[in-house]
Chain A
């Protein structure tokens, strides 16, 4: 009886993932194969790949302008494909090293302000898309930016101009630092403190034991953090959009795919974009498979309870690490603080700090976004998309986790791997593959079933693709959480119920699900929150229906349009961002305080 149910759950899970993940992505391969003649020359174009000396000419400059030194950082312009790679690798490397420093300071040293450092370090987990990147742009503004204002206030004769791809990389570094830090902290905390104590007892100093034992055993977590940040960086479109005034910032694969969506309301399909999507996918999957050599990302996509690691009183080196951590963490949290302050500011475009702060201004803006039909439509879209997709995620999550935990055979492993894979697949690739596959499919169905054709047509009705995309992309969070619950539940708990005469369905409903209730709620809640702040699918597929009052954009896409439009749009985007932030804070409090699980991973 149980085997029949588990087999059916396995079949349902595989069918869902094959239909909505594997097939659309496979279709990109097929499409490229049919367009080989058109796409092959693109790879030879220096616009896409250029490692000639000219690419590095303007990477950085130092010059003297009167009594002040001027440092200009652009980063090399190596063409769309190579730019994405170097920006992604730089961001991942920097965030991994900084995340390691912060994680070690927090996990290994006892000092005043440790709790505060932990909270501030995790604060940028609250995603306020576009607005935080915009605040970083203001910080970096060569003329009146906060950075140069601070440098000149200190009396240093230097002006720093961070532009183009370097600016995109720096912004992403700030935005993704908490992902690296939290994953590394989790990995470090998971190392049994006794292993370190024995090394200390045999004569190893605190730093030696940390290096020989903790760091080595945390390597899989560090590698996973690097890969996650890399994948998120090459998939990011918020920073390139914010810095799009610099032409080089547009020469990234993510921006090119996004730009194509904006101009594809006519329904044309571009072979070059398909090729970029394929390369983006290949690079992400390569990174994912490389890190799987150490560890499945799956174990990082879950909530964990943590052991208290062994900690020490810091020496001079320790204090230096703590000071660096405070500096980096405050810098990384500043954009979020700036984004929230923007809601209440009158102006912040050509000054180092916002001016004209007033609570009534903020309340007016919040009232506008909660009453203006254009914004209300965006909020409604987000709520409808996210709730529908969360319902799908819960149902599929239960079926897949039951099948993965209880099915005996290789298919369970395949299902588990497929359900985890969306972590490694850029949202832009999912969006593009849906567009590419659904457009001809709806055309093909138009003759026989016009209603179905209308529902799945991404130009008429992007909601369908967005909801499916949300549910596929955020499925890993629900599956990992529920799977973890099922693994902790001894199988005899189910067997006793079956032995007393209950069917497996009834056993699931009355024994298993109540016992893993917290895992189900946590998984659903986290999936829901990530959907509300999701960017890649929203700004691409969401924009296909245009900008009228019946638009299909979720909040994040509305924020993207607003921030690129009028000056006032920035403030309304910030107000929408505040609503998103409040939703996320409520969810984090629910997960950590009520459900007593840890908010340990985010995409």
Chain B
């Protein structure tokens, strides 16, 4: 049984000169949990992972494993296992030697090393490939070797940095399920960094969304999707468009925002009548209707398998919609918007 840990960061900051890669990050990852860090390229998620692994030193802030301060502990002593984006398999070693390396460092008996490596290769579905070199394996197989190498040392914390980014789309879908299965089977605390929202939601129990070095929201995939905390999260999650306007009416949690035409939206932040607001409209929340709704002109329609993606011009505002049939460009249609969210700009 692996001794897993919970992870807590306190005001964790990493600065390069005047640039903050990570800024005042407070996070809590529960033991045995798969926790995804999601954000666009350059938002600081890899730096956050490297700080937790001990590969970078924070400029300020603390890191705790099970309440123990590990901030000044070198990477060798943290009992974490990193799988970098490139997998970093050692090309001069066989699959067996790659996986066995961490066990050799721990000076385990040779028989035990052999048994554990074989067991781990079996778990990741690579039995029989022990004598191959990394360059003799497919991308998917290399990724599994990197995972086996990380897991065989029974780390308290598994740190995956975009582990599927170098694979093709089909293999990504297959392997993300595998990663979750293995992590859950071993009940290992896992931090999973990715820029892919779908991947984060498919793998993780909880998700932290990052932007510009800061964590904008932490929650379950449902919470993040259904109730994004701010405009950034709302725009980043799902195909969405942000439209600026002015609040013209308010009734409880609902507001009406004039963006050139009125849109009813749920006010996530407190908004008063007359205040400027941003309405986030998701592609899936705009539907064509026969009567009522808003009059829009079809700009373009593309078949994406199953449904049509339609670009609409609604009184000068461009909105994305979905439709089961294919409207012609130039055609006038009526749409209803449901589930829009309103934020302060």
B partners with A? yes
A contact set with B: CB distance below 8 Å: 192, 194-195, 197-205, 208, 212-213, 216-217
Assess whether B76 is in contact with A200, with CB atoms less than 8 Å apart: yes
Q: Which of B21-29, B81-89, B177-185, B337-345 contacts A (4 or more CB under 8 A)?
A: B81-89
Query: Which residues of chain A are near B106, meaning CB under 8 Å?
Result: 203
Assess whether A197 is in contact with B55, with CB atoms less than 8 Å apart: yes
Q: Does B37 contact A (CB under 8 A)?
A: no
Contacts A199-B90, A202-B101 aside, 15 further interface pairs with beta carbons under 8 A come to: A192-B88, A194-B88, A198-B88, A198-B149, A199-B101, A200-B75, A201-B53, A201-B75, A202-B102, A202-B105, A202-B153, A204-B76, A204-B101, A205-B76, A216-B92
Query: Which residues of chain B are near A202, meaning CB under 8 Å?
Result: 81, 101-102, 105, 149-150, 153
CA distance A126 to B64 in the complex (A): 53
Assess whether A213 is in contact with B76, with CB atoms less than 8 Å apart: no
Given A192-B88, A194-B86, A213-B90, A201 contacting B101 (CB threshold 8 A):
no
CA distance A204 to B53 in the complex (A): 14
8 A–B contacts, CB within 8 A, in A order:
A195-B88, A197-B84, A197-B88, A198-B88, A201-B76, A202-B81, A202-B105, A204-B105
Q: Does B245 contact A (CB under 8 A)?
A: no
Q: Which residues B33-57 have CB closer than 8 A to chain A?
A: 53-55
Query: A197: nearest residue on chain B (CB-CB)?
Result: B55
Query: Which residues of chain A are near B86, meaning CB under 8 Å?
Result: 192, 194
Q: Does B80 contact A (CB under 8 A)?
A: yes
Query: Which residues of chain B are near A212, meaning CB under 8 Å?
Result: 101
Query: Which residues of chain B are near A213, meaning CB under 8 Å?
Result: 90
Query: Which residues of chain A are near B82, meaning CB under 8 Å?
Result: 197-198, 201
Given A194-B84, A216-B92, A217-B92, A201 contacting B105 (CB threshold 8 A):
no
Assess whether B81 is in contact with A201, with CB atoms less than 8 Å apart: yes
CA distance A216 to B90 in the complex (A): 10
Q: Mark B182-210, 1 if CB is under 8 A from A, else 0.
A: 00000000000000000000000000000
Assess whether B105 is in contact with A203, with CB atoms less than 8 Å apart: yes
Question: In the complex, how many angstroms separate the beta carbon of B70 from the nearest chain A beta carbon?
Answer: 13
Query: Which residues of chain A are near B54, meaning CB under 8 Å?
Result: 201
Query: Which residues of chain A are near B84, meaning CB under 8 Å?
Result: 194, 197-198
Question: In the complex, how many angstroms separate the beta carbon of A584 from the nearest chain B beta carbon?
Answer: 35
Assess whether A201 is in contact with B80, with CB atoms less than 8 Å apart: yes
Given A192-B86, A194-B84, A194-B86, A201 contacting B55 (CB threshold 8 A):
yes
Interface residues on B, range: 20 to 34
Query: Which residues of chain A are near B90, meaning CB under 8 Å?
Result: 195, 199, 213, 217
Q: Which residues B58-102 have CB closer than 8 A to chain A?
A: 74-76, 80-82, 84, 86, 88, 90-92, 101-102
Residue of A194, A198, A199, A217 with most chain B CB atoms under a 10 A cut-off:
A198
Query: A194: nearest residue on chain B (CB-CB)?
Result: B88
Given A197-B82, A200-B55, A208 contacting B88 (CB threshold 8 A):
no
Query: Which residues of chain B are near A197, meaning CB under 8 Å?
Result: 55, 75, 82, 84, 88
Residue of A200, A202, A217 with most chain B CB atoms under a 10 A cut-off:
A202
Residue of A192, A200, A201, A213 with most chain B CB atoms under a 10 A cut-off:
A201
B contact set with A: CB distance below 8 Å: 53-55, 74-76, 80-82, 84, 86, 88, 90-92, 101-102, 105-106, 149-150, 153
Q: Which of A192, A194, A208, A216 contacts B105 (CB 8 A)?
A: A208
**Pairs A-B, 3 closest by C-beta atoms:** A202-B102, A194-B88, A203-B105
Question: In the complex, how many angstroms separate the beta carbon of A203 from the nearest chain B beta carbon?
Answer: 4
CA distance A208 to B106 in the complex (A): 13
CA distance A204 to B90 in the complex (A): 14
Query: Which residues of chain B are near A216, meaning CB under 8 Å?
Result: 92
Query: B153: nearest residue on chain A (CB-CB)?
Result: A202
CA distance A192 to B90 in the complex (A): 10
Question: In the complex, how many angstroms separate the beta carbon of B291 from the nearest chain A beta carbon?
Answer: 54
Query: A212: nearest residue on chain B (CB-CB)?
Result: B101
CA distance A205 to B54 in the complex (A): 13
Q: Which of A194, A195, A203 contacts B102 (CB 8 A)?
A: A203
Query: A195: nearest residue on chain B (CB-CB)?
Result: B88
Question: In the complex, how many angstroms separate the beta carbon of B162 from the nearest chain A beta carbon?
Answer: 12
CA distance A601 to B102 in the complex (A): 37
CA distance A192 to B150 in the complex (A): 18
CA distance A217 to B106 in the complex (A): 23
Query: Which residues of chain A are near B149, meaning CB under 8 Å?
Result: 198, 202
CA distance A208 to B53 in the complex (A): 19
Query: A203: nearest residue on chain B (CB-CB)?
Result: B105
Question: In the complex, how many angstroms separate the beta carbon of A146 from the nearest chain B beta carbon?
Answer: 44
Given A200-B55, A202-B153, A217 contacting B80 (CB threshold 8 A):
no
CA distance A194 to B81 in the complex (A): 13
Query: Which residues of chain B are near A195, meaning CB under 8 Å?
Result: 88, 90
CA distance A213 to B105 in the complex (A): 13
Query: A213: nearest residue on chain B (CB-CB)?
Result: B90
CA distance A199 to B53 in the complex (A): 12
Query: Which residues of chain B are near A200, meaning CB under 8 Å?
Result: 55, 74-76
CA distance A212 to B80 in the complex (A): 20
Question: In the complex, how many angstroms separate the beta carbon of A210 from the nearest chain B beta carbon?
Answer: 13
Query: B54: nearest residue on chain A (CB-CB)?
Result: A201
Assess whether B153 is in contact with A203, with CB atoms less than 8 Å apart: yes
CA distance A82 to B123 in the complex (A): 58
Question: In the complex, how many angstroms separate the beta carbon of A202 from the nearest chain B beta carbon?
Answer: 4
CA distance A525 to B77 in the complex (A): 50
CA distance A194 to B55 in the complex (A): 10
Query: B89: nearest residue on chain A (CB-CB)?
Result: A195
Query: Which residues of chain B are near A217, meaning CB under 8 Å?
Result: 90-92
Query: Which residues of chain A are near B74, meaning CB under 8 Å?
Result: 200
Question: In the complex, how many angstroms separate the beta carbon of A199 from the nearest chain B beta carbon?
Answer: 7
Query: B92: nearest residue on chain A (CB-CB)?
Result: A216
Query: Which residues of chain A are near B80, meaning CB under 8 Å?
Result: 201
CA distance A195 to B85 in the complex (A): 11
Query: A216: nearest residue on chain B (CB-CB)?
Result: B92
Question: In the complex, how many angstroms separate the beta carbon of B271 from the nearest chain A beta carbon?
Answer: 47
Query: Which residues of chain A are near B55, meaning CB under 8 Å?
Result: 197, 200-201
CA distance A204 to B81 in the complex (A): 12
CA distance A137 to B203 in the complex (A): 71
CA distance A212 to B106 in the complex (A): 15
CA distance A194 to B54 in the complex (A): 13
CA distance A212 to B153 in the complex (A): 18
Question: In the complex, how many angstroms separate the beta carbon of A449 from the nearest chain B beta carbon?
Answer: 57
CA distance A579 to B36 in the complex (A): 63
CA distance A195 to B93 in the complex (A): 12
CA distance A205 to B101 in the complex (A): 13
Query: A217: nearest residue on chain B (CB-CB)?
Result: B92
Question: In the complex, how many angstroms separate the beta carbon of A49 from the nearest chain B beta carbon?
Answer: 39
Query: Which residues of chain A are near B76, meaning CB under 8 Å?
Result: 200-201, 203-205
Query: Which residues of chain B are near A192, meaning CB under 8 Å?
Result: 86, 88
Query: Which residues of chain A are near B101, meaning CB under 8 Å?
Result: 199, 202, 204, 212
Question: In the complex, how many angstroms separate the beta carbon of A459 from the nearest chain B beta carbon?
Answer: 54
CA distance A194 to B86 in the complex (A): 8
CA distance A226 to B153 in the complex (A): 38
CA distance A96 to B229 in the complex (A): 60
Query: Which residues of chain B are near A194, meaning CB under 8 Å?
Result: 84, 86, 88
Question: In the complex, how many angstroms separate the beta carbon of A299 from the nearest chain B beta carbon?
Answer: 16
Question: In the complex, how many angstroms separate the beta carbon of B233 from the nearest chain A beta carbon?
Answer: 30
CA distance A197 to B150 in the complex (A): 13
CA distance A33 to B74 in the complex (A): 66
Query: Which residues of chain A are near B75, meaning CB under 8 Å?
Result: 197, 200-201
Query: A310: nearest residue on chain B (CB-CB)?
Result: B55
CA distance A216 to B80 in the complex (A): 25
CA distance A201 to B86 in the complex (A): 15
Query: A199: nearest residue on chain B (CB-CB)?
Result: B101
CA distance A194 to B83 in the complex (A): 10
Query: B56: nearest residue on chain A (CB-CB)?
Result: A197
CA distance A212 to B92 in the complex (A): 10
Query: Which residues of chain B are near A205, meaning CB under 8 Å?
Result: 76
Query: B50: nearest residue on chain A (CB-CB)?
Result: A197
Residue of A195, A203, A205, A213 with most chain B CB atoms under a 10 A cut-off:
A203
Question: In the complex, how many angstroms separate the beta carbon of B50 from the nearest chain A beta carbon?
Answer: 8
Query: Which residues of chain B are near A204, meaning CB under 8 Å?
Result: 76, 101, 105
